[in-house]
Amino acid sequence: MQQVTGRALSLTLGMALAVGGTTAAWSAEGLQEVMQRRGLTEKDILAAAKTYTPTGGRDEYLAFSSGGQSGQVIVYGIPSMRILKYIGVFTPEPWQGYGFDDESKAVLAHGRIDGKDLNYGDTHHPAFSETDGDYDGRYLFINDKANPRVAVIDLKDFETKQIVTHPLFRSEHGGAFVTPNTEYVMEATQYAAPYSDMGYVPLEQFNDKYRGGLTYWKFNKDKGRINPENSFTFELPPYSQDLSDAGKKDSYGWGFTNSFCTERYVGGIERGRPPFEAGCSSKDTDFLHVTNWKKAEELVKAGKVTKRNGMYVIPMEQAVAEGLLYLIPEPKSPHGADVTPDGKFI
């Protein structure tokens, strides 16, 4: 037994010495030796040096990305590309407790639609809060493309503080966008539908009863909350509204929203009609919607607009008559509108 133990001890010591020798040899390697052993080029080393961030070191930037159908927001560092946090927004996150404590339960409860819990989401295109048209790093806004909802995330603690649901829309397009001083958060519909206070309307009444829309959600920067009572919606024609951006400096007070399928095509391939995508691309142009939110704000404050299901609404006829809405033809099926920093071009 003693001989076996002695042999085992000798073997263990031998292995330790061998490993130690190898470790010492590796630690003594220079850069050229490592490159040669691993078959790396100077280009490879340069790429690694540009992204490497030592443990405990800080990245130069933080990126906030939508999580799509996870219903969350992902935060990662640049250049390290390390994932730093998953922010729970529209979906419960059992592994981190979001949606299971009283505070986050209350946040998710405000995301109910028609009294039903919607524990799923589809996040797209987050937006930072702004001051004088530049990011101020205070809040992040994220939409739910699966359901007409917008959430507010406080960047002091990277936690969701508020979810608001739209009282009229049945869908919304992928993005949240802010005006230069975060006076408002912009949210547009994707699919034309009867406003939710109308109930079911057959497709045969599409042109008369179905509508798109663009909402300007009023935001209180001091409280960090959206104020639905002072928000308003532009009624828009029954086709798909797209992404938006707000004017600044020379174009301050205006908002810009793309659109597509202005053909107002509703499909019907089962009846021998063209496929939906073909019918929505038959025209050469769609429209850029130009909305004067600053003047609309004055009409809302003066009580000169209508109210539907708790939301101020500016009907199309009034928007045109008051000079609040213009359409600019643009190449068909655009996706996204961006205003230059000086506010002179879109």
Output the pLDDT for position 69: 94
CA distance 189 to 171: 6
Structure confidence by residue, pLDDT tens digits, 201-242: 999 999 999 999 999 999 999 999 999 999 999 999 999 999
Grade residue 18 by pLDDT with cuts at 50, 70 and 90: very low
Any idea which of 82-86, 271-275, 299-303, 339-343 has the lowest mean pLDDT?
A: 271-275
Output the pLDDT for position 57: 87
Whole-angstrom CA distances from 320 to 97, 189, 196, 304, 317 are: 49, 19, 24, 14, 5
CA distance 326 to 333: 18
| Contact in structure between 70 and 61 (CB atoms under 8 Å) | no
Output the pLDDT for position 52: 92
Whole-angstrom CA distances from 174 to 118, 139, 258, 287, 293 are: 18, 18, 12, 18, 20
Any idea which of 18-32, 85-99, 247-261 has the lowest mean pLDDT?
A: 18-32
Q: Work out the average pLDDT over 28-55.
A: 93
Q: Which of 239, 326, 316 is nearest to 290 (CA)?
A: 326
> 279 is written with which tokens?
């019918």
| Contact in structure between 215 and 184 (CB atoms under 8 Å) | no
| Contact in structure between 219 and 226 (CB atoms under 8 Å) | yes
Output the pLDDT for position 24: 52
Output the pLDDT for position 27: 61
Output the pLDDT for position 15: 45
Grade residue 291 by pLDDT with cuts at 50, 70 and 90: very high
Structure confidence by residue, pLDDT tens digits, 124-170: 999 999 999 999 999 999 999 999 999 999 999 999 999 999 999 99
User: Angle formed by the axes of helices 42-51 and 31-38, to 10°?
Assistant: 110
Residue 308 has pLDDT above 90, yes or no: yes
Residue 19 has pLDDT above 50, yes or no: no
Q: Which of 164, 178, 106, 96 is nearest to 136 (CA)?
A: 178
Residue 4 has pLDDT above 80, yes or no: no
Structure confidence by residue, pLDDT tens digits, 233-245: 999 999 999 999 9
Residue 274 has pLDDT above 80, yes or no: yes
CA distance 162 to 110: 8
- Strands of the sheet with 149-154, listed across from one edge: 127-131, 134-144, 149-154, 159-165
- DSSP E strands in the chain: the ranges are 61-66, 72-78, 83-88, 127-131, 134-144, 149-154, 159-165, 177-178, 184-188, 212-220, 225-236, 240-246, 254-260, 285-292, 306-308, 311-314, 325-331
Whole-angstrom CA distances from 38 to 25, 31, 41, 49, 304 are: 15, 11, 9, 16, 72
Structure confidence by residue, pLDDT tens digits, 322-340: 999 999 999 999 998 999 9
Angle at 46 (CA atoms; ends 40, 52), nearest 5 degrees: 105
What counts of helices (H) and strands (E) characterise the chain?
8, 17
Report helix, strand or coil for 29. coil
Q: Work out the average pLDDT over 161-186.
A: 95
Output the pLDDT for position 290: 98
The matching CATH number, chosen from 1.10.10.60, 2.130.10.10, 3.40.1010.10, 3.30.360.10, for 50-331 is 2.130.10.10
Mean pLDDT score of the chain, rounded to an integer? 92
Residue 10 has pLDDT above 90, yes or no: no
* Contacts of residue 285, Cβ cutoff 8 Å, sequence gap at least 6: 262, 329, 330, 331, 332
Grade residue 25 by pLDDT with cuts at 50, 70 and 90: low
Domain extents in the chain: 50-331
CA distance 68 to 48: 29
Output the pLDDT for position 197: 85
Q: Which of 232, 255, 121 is nearest to 178 (CA)?
A: 255
Output the pLDDT for position 8: 46
**Half-sphere exposure at residue 284, Cβ-oriented, CA atoms within 13 angstroms:** 0
Output the pLDDT for position 242: 93
| Contact in structure between 82 and 62 (CB atoms under 8 Å) | no
CA distance 12 to 87: 48
